[in-house]
Amino acid sequence: MNATTSYQAIIASPIGPLGIVIEDGALYRINFLSDETTLQATDDEPTAQVVAQLQHYFKQADWHFSLPLQPVGTAFQQKVWQQLQQIPLGEVRTYGEIAWTLGSGPRAVGNACRNNPLPLVVPCHRVVAANGPGGFAGQTQGRNLSIKGWLLAHEGVTL
DNA sequence: TTAGGTAGTCTCG
DNA sequence: CGAGACTACCTAA
C-alpha cells in the first residue's frame, strides 16, 4: 500500500513489477509497483507457489489459479470477490449484473472491486461498466486502466 | 448529456 | 449511533 509495505516477493511482469504479500501461508495482497525496488525474497513454499502461478498466468492466460487466499474485507466485499472468481476466463460481467445476483446495487459492487486486494487472482478486470470499461486499481483512467485492457486482451477479450 | 436513484463504506460528532 | 459525503454505476428523459 505504501513505502513501508514489506513484500515477500517482487516479480517482473508484462504489466510492470508486482509486489506480493503473504500471511499465514495464504495470499494476502498484490500491488502494482511503479518501479523495481529491492527484492525481499522469502524463500518459502507459499511464496514460491504464488510466484510460479503468476508467471504461469502471464505465459498462458488459460490457467486457473489454485492458491490459498486471505483477502481481508467486509462480508459484502467477500461475497463480491467470491462472485468475481466465478467469471469464466474470456468472459466479462457488468457491475450491474454482479449486483443483480447479489441483490445489491452497481455502485456498491464498484466499491468492492475497487478494494479488491488480489487483482489478477480475483479477476476484477473481468468486470466492466454497461457503457464503458469501468476502472481498475482505483483509477478510471491512466496506467492502471491500461493494465486492465492488457489483461483482457491477454485473455482474448475484445472490449 | 444530465439528473436522479441506488447500495456500501468512511468520517465526524 | 446518525447524518453526510464520498464512489471502478445505471436508467430514464
pLDDT digits (tens, 9 = 90+) for A75-104: 999 999 999 999 999 999 999 999 999 999
The alpha helices in A8-142, defined as continuous H runs, are 45-59, 75-84, 95-102, 106-114
Positions of chain B reached by protein Cβ under 7 A: 5-10
Q: Which amino acid is at A111?
A: N
The whole-number average pLDDT for the span A22-48 is 85
The whole-number average pLDDT for the span A16-42 is 86
- Whether any strand C atom is under 7 angstroms from the Cβ of A134: the reply reads yes
- Calculated CA dihedral for residues A21, A94, A58, A120, nearest 10 degrees: 10
Predicted confidence at residue A1, as pLDDT, reads 47
Q: What share of chain A is helix, strand, coil (3-state, %, to 5)?
A: 35, 15, 50
The architecture of the domain spanning A75-154 is Orthogonal Bundle (1.10)
Q: At a CB cut-off of 8 Å and minimum separation 6, what does A79 contact?
A: A102
Cα A130 from Cα A81, distance rounded (Å)? 19
**Protein CA A58 to sugar C1' C13 (Å):** 46
**Protein CA A46 to sugar C1' C8 (Å):** 30
pTM of the shown model: 0.93
**Protein CA A103 to sugar C1' B6 (Å):** 12
Domain boundaries, chain A: 9-59, 75-154
Q: In which residue are the cell numbers 506480493 written?
A: A20
pLDDT band at A40 (very low <50, low <70, confident <90, very high): low
Predicted confidence at residue A36, as pLDDT, reads 64
